[in-house]
């Protein structure tokens, strides 16, 4: 497995990972109607516009997971992992940890000090992962998907410690 900058030819796999992950991991958290409406071809049209901000974990031509990173001014954070997804069937193999560490290293190299990550408050699997990776609960918020608002929780990471 290598971690590298996402390429245009990775975008369909990125869209497939996102839709598969949401339909599996968020079932019972997000409304079924919304999850059932997710479509990889539709996500492709969205992800093609932002893949240049992503890194992927790949095994040959297969994308195993990806991270979407961004510099931010949301105090107290100066950078953010907006999305981190691993192909659902490949979870538990260190891919998420590798993507997370790679993102943190890139932010450190850019002189960033504090990173934020948001996730669904009810997504206990992701919350355990972010806490294991050293994140400290920061604040809550909400985000709308479909016709409903969902509770979110954020984690802060000090990159200069």
Q: What would the pLDDT profile of 17-54 be if each residue is shown by its tens digit? A: 999 999 999 999 999 999 999 999 999 999 999 999 99
pTM for the full predicted model: 0.92
Q: Is the pLDDT of residue 73 over 80?
A: no
Query: Could you give the C-alpha distances from 46 to 41, 80, 89, 153, 159, in angstroms and in order?
Result: 9, 19, 23, 24, 30
Rg (CA), the chain: 15
For residues 20 and 31, give the distance between their C-alpha atoms in angstroms, rounded to a whole number. Answer: 15
Given this model, what pLDDT does residue 92 score? 82
Question: Which domains are seen in the chain, by residue range?
Answer: 2-158 (3.40.630.30)
φ, ψ at 34 (rounded to 5°): -65, -50
Question: Could you tell me if 103 and 69 are in contact, meaning their C-beta atoms sit under 8 angstroms apart?
Answer: yes
Give per-residue pLDDT as tens, 52-67: 999 999 999 999 999 9
Q: Measured in whole angstroms, how far is the alpha carbon of residue 119 from the centre of its chain? A: 9
Q: In whole angstroms, what is the distance from residue 47 CA to residue 96 CA?
A: 19
Measured in whole angstroms, how far is the alpha carbon of residue 5 from the centre of its chain? 15
How many residues comprise the chain?
161
Average pLDDT over residues 2-19: 97
Closest CA to 1 of 84, 70, 90: 90
pLDDT in tens, 116-139: 999 999 999 999 999 999 999 999
Distance CA 96, CA 143 (A): 23
Distance CA 71, CA 56 (A): 18
Give the DSSP letter of residue 50.
T
What does the pLDDT read at residue 161? 75
Average per-residue pLDDT for the chain: 95
**Token pair recorded at residue 26:** 């968020």
């Amino acid at each position: 497995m290598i971690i590298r900058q996402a390429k245009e030819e990775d975008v369909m796999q990125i869209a497939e990972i996102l839709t598969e992950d949401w339909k599996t991991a968020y079932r019972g958290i997000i409304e079924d109607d919304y999850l059932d409406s997710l479509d990889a071809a539709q996500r492709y049209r969205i992800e093609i516009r932002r893949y240049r901000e992503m890194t992927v974990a790949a095994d040959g031509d297969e994308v195993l997971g990806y991270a979407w990173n961004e510099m931010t001014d949301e105090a107290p954070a100066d950078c953010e992992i907006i999305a981190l997804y691993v192909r659902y069937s490949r979870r538990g193999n260190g891919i998420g940890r590798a993507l997370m560490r790679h993102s943190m290293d890139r932010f450190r190299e850019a002189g960033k000090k504090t990173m934020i990550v948001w996730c669904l408050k009810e997504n206990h699997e992701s919350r355990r992962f972010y806490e294991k990776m050293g994140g400290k609960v920061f604040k809550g918020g909400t985000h709308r998907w479909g016709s409903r608002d969902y509770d979110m929780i954020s984690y802060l990471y000090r990159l200069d410690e």
